Amino acid sequence: QVQLVESGGGLVQAGGSLRLSCAAAGGTWSNYAMAWFRQAPGKEREFVAAVTWSGGSTSYADSVKGRFTISRANAKNTVYLQMNSLEPEDTAVYYCAASLYYSGTYYTRENEYQYWGQGTQVTVSS
């Protein structure tokens, strides 16, 4: 069983930056491909970014490509989401997720992830 705890959310003006962190406890970190998802008010949860165990391969939603960067520090059992050039449309609760499927690739669908954090709120003001 793995527990995920997100941090780093907050209120920022449009054009600003935030870095989210997701720390994992329990389980075997090397088994997990990781991802970030987000859910805006009144909308379904959507994929944001994913990374393989090594960090060597990543995937991004088109809406964040070029602005967000996912990375991981395996020695710290932590995955990050650096968010730059934030827009009001990025306002959402951001969740990190861990997948028990083969960690040498990344996954972009919710049902491919078995463990979820509690979420951290990101609010971007215009």
pLDDT tens for 16-40 read 999 999 999 887 777 789 999 999 9
Q: What percent of the chain has pLDDT over 70?
A: 100
**In whole angstroms, what is the distance from residue 31 CA to residue 126 CA?**
40
In angstroms, what CA-CA distances link 61 with 18, 30, 38, 58?
Answer: 18, 24, 11, 11
Identity of the amino acid at 1: Q
**pLDDT for the residue numbered 99:** 92
**Which residue, 121, 81, 91, is CA-closest to 14?**
91
Mean pLDDT of 47-60: 94
**pLDDT for the residue numbered 1:** 81
**pLDDT for the residue numbered 2:** 87
Mean pLDDT of 98-114: 90
Asked whether 20 and 83 are in contact (CB, 8 A), the reply is: yes
Cβ atoms within 10 Å of 111's Cβ, excluding its own: 7
**pLDDT for the residue numbered 97:** 97
